[in-house]
Amino acid sequence: MSFFGLGRPQPTSAEKIAAVENELKMMADMHNRMTRVCSAKCVDKTYRESDLAKGEAVCLDRCSAKFFDVHAKIFDQIQKETTERMAAAGGSGGGFGM
Protein backbone atom coordinates (compact mmCIF):
# COMPACT_ATOMS: atom_id res chain seq x y z
CA MET A 1 0.00 0.00 0.00
CA SER A 2 2.38 2.71 -1.18
CA PHE A 3 1.49 5.93 -2.88
CA PHE A 4 4.92 6.85 -4.21
CA GLY A 5 5.85 7.40 -7.82
CA LEU A 6 3.05 9.82 -8.63
CA GLY A 7 5.28 11.97 -10.79
CA ARG A 8 6.98 13.92 -8.01
CA PRO A 9 10.75 14.36 -7.84
CA GLN A 10 12.59 11.65 -5.86
CA PRO A 11 11.70 11.95 -2.15
CA THR A 12 14.56 12.39 0.30
CA SER A 13 15.51 9.71 2.79
CA ALA A 14 13.85 11.60 5.63
CA GLU A 15 10.70 12.04 3.58
CA LYS A 16 10.52 8.35 2.73
CA ILE A 17 10.98 7.25 6.33
CA ALA A 18 8.45 9.81 7.53
CA ALA A 19 5.93 8.65 4.92
CA VAL A 20 6.18 5.01 5.94
CA GLU A 21 6.07 5.95 9.59
CA ASN A 22 2.98 8.07 9.03
CA GLU A 23 1.22 5.32 7.15
CA LEU A 24 1.94 2.85 9.96
CA LYS A 25 0.83 5.45 12.47
CA MET A 26 -2.48 5.92 10.64
CA MET A 27 -3.01 2.17 10.56
CA ALA A 28 -2.26 1.84 14.27
CA ASP A 29 -4.59 4.74 15.00
CA MET A 30 -7.39 3.15 13.01
CA HIS A 31 -6.81 -0.15 14.77
CA ASN A 32 -7.03 1.50 18.19
CA ARG A 33 -10.18 3.43 17.30
CA MET A 34 -11.83 0.33 15.91
CA THR A 35 -11.00 -1.67 19.04
CA ARG A 36 -12.28 1.07 21.33
CA VAL A 37 -15.48 1.69 19.41
CA CYS A 38 -16.34 -1.97 18.93
CA SER A 39 -15.55 -2.86 22.55
CA ALA A 40 -17.90 -0.11 23.67
CA LYS A 41 -20.67 -1.41 21.43
CA CYS A 42 -20.22 -5.13 21.87
CA VAL A 43 -18.63 -6.01 25.18
CA ASP A 44 -20.59 -6.28 28.42
CA LYS A 45 -19.31 -3.55 30.70
CA THR A 46 -20.10 -5.32 33.95
CA TYR A 47 -17.30 -7.81 33.21
CA ARG A 48 -19.04 -10.72 34.85
CA GLU A 49 -17.01 -13.15 32.77
CA SER A 50 -13.33 -13.15 31.83
CA ASP A 51 -13.92 -14.88 28.49
CA LEU A 52 -15.56 -13.31 25.48
CA ALA A 53 -19.09 -14.65 25.07
CA LYS A 54 -19.97 -16.11 21.67
CA GLY A 55 -22.42 -13.27 21.01
CA GLU A 56 -19.81 -10.66 21.93
CA ALA A 57 -17.22 -12.28 19.65
CA VAL A 58 -19.60 -12.36 16.68
CA CYS A 59 -20.58 -8.75 17.38
CA LEU A 60 -16.89 -7.72 17.38
CA ASP A 61 -16.29 -9.46 14.04
CA ARG A 62 -19.27 -7.76 12.40
CA CYS A 63 -18.37 -4.44 13.99
CA SER A 64 -14.85 -4.51 12.53
CA ALA A 65 -16.20 -5.25 9.05
CA LYS A 66 -18.71 -2.38 9.31
CA PHE A 67 -16.06 -0.05 10.70
CA PHE A 68 -13.89 -0.54 7.63
CA ASP A 69 -16.87 -0.11 5.32
CA VAL A 70 -17.91 3.10 7.05
CA HIS A 71 -14.33 4.39 6.86
CA ALA A 72 -14.15 3.72 3.13
CA LYS A 73 -17.61 5.19 2.47
CA ILE A 74 -16.91 8.38 4.39
CA PHE A 75 -13.55 8.74 2.68
CA ASP A 76 -15.14 8.41 -0.77
CA GLN A 77 -18.03 10.70 0.06
CA ILE A 78 -15.82 13.45 1.45
CA GLN A 79 -13.69 13.36 -1.68
CA LYS A 80 -16.76 13.52 -3.89
CA GLU A 81 -18.45 16.27 -1.88
CA THR A 82 -15.29 18.35 -1.68
CA THR A 83 -14.86 18.15 -5.45
CA GLU A 84 -18.51 19.04 -6.08
CA ARG A 85 -18.54 21.89 -3.58
CA MET A 86 -15.34 23.37 -4.97
CA ALA A 87 -16.75 23.16 -8.48
CA ALA A 88 -19.99 24.82 -7.33
CA ALA A 89 -18.08 27.57 -5.56
CA GLY A 90 -16.29 28.15 -8.86
CA GLY A 91 -12.98 28.80 -7.19
CA SER A 92 -14.32 31.72 -5.09
CA GLY A 93 -13.33 31.23 -1.50
CA GLY A 94 -11.66 27.88 -2.07
CA GLY A 95 -10.80 25.60 0.81
CA PHE A 96 -13.51 23.69 2.61
CA GLY A 97 -15.98 26.55 2.63
CA MET A 98 -18.20 25.05 5.31
Partner 1 sequence: MDTGLTAAENRELETRMQKRQLKEFMSVIGNLVDTCFNSCINDFTSKALSGSETGCITRCVQKSMTTQARMAERFAEQNQAMAAEMQRKAQQ
Contacting residues for 81 by C-beta, under 8 A, at least 6 apart: none
CB of 84 to partner 1, least distance (A): 20
Q: Segment contacting partner 1 (CB under 8 A): 62-70, 78-86, 88-96? A: 62-70
Give Cα 19 distance to the centre of its chain: 16
Site for partner 1 contains 25 (CB under 8 A): yes
Give whichever of 51 and 98 is closer to partner 1, judged by the CB atom.
51
Q: At 31, is the secondary structure helix, strand, or coil? A: helix
Name the residue among 41, 34, 46, 32 with its Cα closest to residue 72.
34
Separation of CA 63 from chain center: 14
Quick one: 24 or 89, whose CB is closer to partner 1? 24
> Which residues make up the interface to partner 1 (CB under 8 A)?
1-2, 4, 13, 16-17, 20-21, 24-25, 27-28, 30-31, 34-36, 38-39, 43, 45-52, 57, 60-61, 64-65, 67-68, 72
